Amino acid sequence: MSSPDLRTLEPKALWNCFADLNAVPRPSKREERVVGFVLGFAARNGIEAQLDTAGNVIIKKPASADRQGHPPVIIQAHLDMVHKAGDGVKFDFDKQGIDMWVDGDWVRARGTTLGADNGLGVAAILAVLASKDLSHPPIEALFTLDEEQGMGGALGLQPGVLTGKTMLNLDSEEDDTFTIGCAGGIDTLGHYEYTEVAHDSAAPLVSIQITGLRGGHSGLQIHEGRANANKLMTRLLHACGEDVAALSTMRGGSARNAIPAQCVAQVVVLNQSQFDERFQREAAGIRAEFSLIEPGLSIITTPVTVESATVQTMSSEQQKALVLAMQALVNGVYRMSPVVPGLVEASSNFSTIALGGGKAEWSSLQRSSVESSKLDVAAAFRAPFELIGAHVRSGDPYPGWSPSATSPILDKMKTIYRELFGHEVQVGACHAGLECGVISMAYPDLDMISFGPNIHEAHSEKECASISSTQKFWKLLTATLASL
């Protein structure tokens, strides 16, 4: 469902493709419906389409009449999106399309992620493929899978499938910047089994709820100092102590690449007066620390009705060990780049945790533009958990993308940008993960660049995309294709 005026926005071809795309559920690792949508789109437009061995969609379109004989260009975007709903929002991503609306210069979604990351890139490619009057060389459109949960599609790309030597990646989120490098990443996952202890249900069971945080992209926003709900809950548990608040359940975060915006835990209160005093003191300190950057932060407790005779919690020794490990883990910026001023080199995000029933499981994502520091920050995250005997593993690594000293497409697009918009474009690297580095493993000689429209608050329910910036992005894309 979308706002009636969304389809009237310019460029209509792009926004209509985006509206059609956002009617299709497309979570990472379950992209079969959106793959079918793209294949159907190609069939309706009479264009050659195929699936590679990894399930990526490749669509090839011949050159326009005026660009016959020119070398092909690869245009790339990923099909999956982060599915996240806001606090208290009931939304079935498996059955509902994204509900979009126009707010001045911004397109937003009602209560969920918008999917502009990377849906606008996908929609732009579809609009180019369907066009009858655009000037362009032969096009190899590459739609990859599973970018948000491990770069699986790009990692499965095989040599020899594509013939182009230039690639336009449409997965950047600032319209005045060309990206020519990015961080690599690695997941660190943990599992901890613990002994449960039964408490008489007469002891009060309390729910601690941390909500209203900004959350956001764990690469693009990690340097802003946004609060991590899982870490805040850890602080509260540590301040109260296992002798005062016995931990029964804990659940926080929604995706490995999103800063967790909420966390809820249930504790059995063993000493009410001490719990009240310790909890309120720590909560007040947290609120003061984050009053400027997290104005929506809410930390509350509510009583929980117990229907059984007993409530199960962690043993006090294991609770102390786990809480200390979570207190000690590295989260946030790990190292700033000594080469690129203002760029985060390495970071870590404590992404999700689910605890209860005798086991705790958590996920995290470490990023770095330097391979050695990527492994170092992952080891730093693992260390406190390994000390308490938890099972910890790192997996799904993907490489960063090193900037090239000589890039013909960068030089060409800098000139086009200056001629179109009357000023110089910024050029830099980003701390988010882009597929360019992964794709270069199969195609090491590709000349690559990444660009896109202004998208704010990706990976959160506040995600929005600028209409005027999307128009600028489309103008730049079509002018570039006409020059190749």
Taking residues 365-379, what's their average pLDDT? 95
pLDDT for the residue 296: 96
Q: Which of 31, 80, 282, 294 is catalytic?
A: 80
Report the DSSP pairing between strands 73-78 and 139-144: parallel
pLDDT for the residue 405: 72
Task: Compute the distance between CA of residue 467 and CA of residue 480 in angstroms, rounded to an integer.
Answer: 20
State residue 158 phi and psi, 5-degree precision.
Answer: -100, 150
The answer to whether 242 is a known catalytic residue is no
E-assigned strands of 329-425?
A: 332-336, 344-356, 359-368, 391-398
| pLDDT confidence bin for 419, thresholds 50/70/90 | very high
Q: Where are the alpha helices (DSSP H) in 337-370?
A: none
Kindly tell me if the per-residue pLDDT of 3 is higher than 80: no
pLDDT-above-70 percentage for the chain:
99
- Cβ(52)–Cβ(158) below 8 Å: yes
Kindly tell me if the per-residue pLDDT of 1 is higher than 70: no
User: What does pTM read for this prediction?
Assistant: 0.83
- Cβ(484)–Cβ(73) below 8 Å: yes
Taking residues 95-110, what's their average pLDDT? 96
Place of tokens 């294709």: 481
pLDDT-above-90 percentage for the chain:
90
Domain ranges in the chain? 6-183+400-483, 186-398
The answer to whether 461 is a known catalytic residue is no
Kindly tell me if the per-residue pLDDT of 150 is higher than 90: no
How deeply is 376 buried, as exposed, middle or buried, from its count of CB atoms within 10 A (0-12, 13-18, 19+)? middle
Name the more confident of 1 and 48: 48
CATH code given to domain 186-398: 3.30.70.360
Segment 225-266, tens digit of pLDDT: 999 999 999 999 999 999 999 999 999 998 889 999 999 999
Kindly tell me if the per-residue pLDDT of 4 is higher than 60: no
Segment 306-357, tens digit of pLDDT: 888 899 999 999 999 999 999 999 999 999 998 888 899 999 999 999 999 9
CATH code given to domain 6-183+400-483: 3.40.630.10
Peptide bond into 62 cis (omega under 30): no
Q: Which of 140, 147, 174, 175 is catalytic?
A: 147
Kindly tell me if the per-residue pLDDT of 72 is higher than 70: yes
Phi-psi region at 457: left, alpha or beta (left = phi > 0; alpha = psi -120 to 50): left
pLDDT for the residue 105: 96
